[in-house]
Structure 1
């Protein structure tokens, strides 16, 4: 009985230790930053994530005042996802939409926007109202929430400890008889 109780206690402790496996990659920063105005449009946008994303299915679409200006496929360098822009990209408002595969295999999506005063083609844009879109985080779409896994871990640990305690007390009573 003691071995069973020890095994249940060890299993309970193992289950109680939360791991990072429940967390998806999170967009930490962008260049250009969301909602900013840059003097000159950079030749690429850079998205930095909390972990190194997988190349599988990586998509970054940059839309400017004249439509899409993404050039080629995004590249991954460490935690950075880089998307080159077409040399004909004009000045104006830009929206970047992304979908990457988290290092745990789950998709992470979102959008952000910025304004470029001068485009790569040398054209200038008048300062207009930039639409700011809040990036969609994993917690917003319900995939990255740690509440449910932690709650299940706590409840499961309490149940296992309760069963283990009951078995220990029961074996002690049986030894006395």
Structure 2
């Protein structure tokens, strides 16, 4: 009887060791796969109403492999076109949004249309609100970064400003876009 019990325990030990080795191999594979996936970094700006508007929304930035993808969704706008920009200071305390300063323009370029000759890095452009006051816009660029050390690219600590009117994409220094109706500070999301 003792021999059968000893043989049984030996077999169980061998099977357990074999299964343990499979788990270790699988964990090694998982670590290798995980290590090869690039980490993304996320920042957000929660937009609150300014200048007696009812604008609200959220702008999300995700950086992956040197590219920043931006997506904005806003509500409470009047139907039609509205300018949206990155401004130099992440301070939305003023009722009219003026505490956010001017357009973020670290390269001292002229204001203009994104991707054309002369534009601020904060010149996102225009978005169109539908009949319900809802607007969405996306952008992808390698000219921004989230939390990097390059002051000419880092958007953290800046503000998103939404304007009452459209950006004419030529008037200096800010496109004659009218009142600031929404503002949100761009902040780094915790991991």
Give the TM-score normalised by the residue count of structure 1.
Answer: 0.27
TM-score norm. by structure 2 comes to 0.26
